[in-house]
Amino acid sequence: MSGTTLRMEKWPVLGRHEQAAAWLTIWTDLGRAPRTIDAYARGLAEYLLMCEREAVDPVTANRAHIAVYVRELTSRPHRRGTNVVSIDSGTGLANATIQQRLVPVRLFYDFLMEEGLRESNPVGRGRYTPGRQRSGHQRGLVPRLAKLPWIPSEQQWLGILQVAPEEPVRNRVMLALAYDAALRREELCSLRTDDLDPAHRTLRVRAETTKNRLERVVPYSASTGVLMSAYLAHRATVSRARGRCSCRSPGATTGSR
């Protein structure tokens, strides 16, 4: 069963709209990552469901209908409920999530324009207008907000370091590698034993696991090298098969990972 068929079963509304199914199939055939296709399918499915509730033909929908969809996203009850106390935990999706939901809708209308079924894209995008004040940039349909990254305090770091020594060697070496090489979660969890070069204390981050699809080689510290040697030595006693560093060694118990 193809990935497109599975997605149609998961989101039946996609199968009810011929153009949506054709658009999703094209992206799948172009070899886009499965997670990207899933995100596109979910975002477009939610939009098509809104169109069905509002009795709107998505092919002829206008900017007003897109505004209804945006209003729905910004007023949707929070999945964590009302018990979560934070500035942005009330109702509605986060700004970044709304931007992600609009991307497949925008791309879908780009497709309809290319097919000659529409003359304009109701979603639109931020663009540069010569002569316009404030650097000539026109804001997109939904303003893009950027939050500062969360940086743990000194006390929080100390708390992590106090817990880490009690963890299995696998967990300790993963924490050390993430810190030394500034690895993203996917990069860290996708590391394989053949990506490591203990002799030169470097590791290879494969292109398919990076956000910019560029491979890189990064060093790690001598202390992390000691942990790495201990982990690899333990792993060799269980299995010599190559594989992901983040996986539990076959047959290992919780205390000996």
Summarised one tens digit per residue, pLDDT across range 51-97 is 999 999 999 999 999 999 999 888 877 555 554 444 444 556 788 88
pLDDT at 253: 40
Separation CA 40–CA 52 (nearest Å): 18
Tell me the C-alpha to C-alpha distance, in Å, between residue 207 and each of 13, 177, 185, 187, 193: 34, 18, 14, 9, 16
Q: In 3D, which of 36, 34, 42, 101 has the Cα closest to residue 72?
A: 101
pLDDT at 86: 44
Q: What is the CA radius of gyration of the chain?
A: 24
Separation CA 109–CA 71 (nearest Å): 19
pLDDT at 68: 92
Q: In 3D, which of 19, 147, 123 has the Cα closest to residue 73?
A: 123
Separation CA 31–CA 27 (nearest Å): 7
3-state secondary structure of 74: helix
Cβ neighbours of residue 176 under 8 Å, at least 6 residues apart?
220, 221, 223, 224, 227, 228
Neighbouring CB atoms inside 10 A of 137's CB total 12
pLDDT at 85: 44
pLDDT at 63: 92
pLDDT at 256: 39
Is residue 229 a contact partner of residue 237, using CB atoms and an 8 Å limit?
no
Is residue 142 a contact partner of residue 98, using CB atoms and an 8 Å limit?
yes
Its pTM stands at: 0.57
pLDDT tens per residue, the chain (257 residues)?
466 677 778 889 999 999 999 999 999 888 888 888 999 999 999 999 999 999 999 999 999 999 999 998 888 775 555 544 444 445 567 888 888 899 999 999 999 999 999 999 999 765 444 444 544 444 556 666 666 778 889 999 999 999 999 999 989 999 999 999 999 988 999 999 889 999 999 999 999 888 888 999 999 999 999 999 998 888 888 777 777 776 554 434 434 33
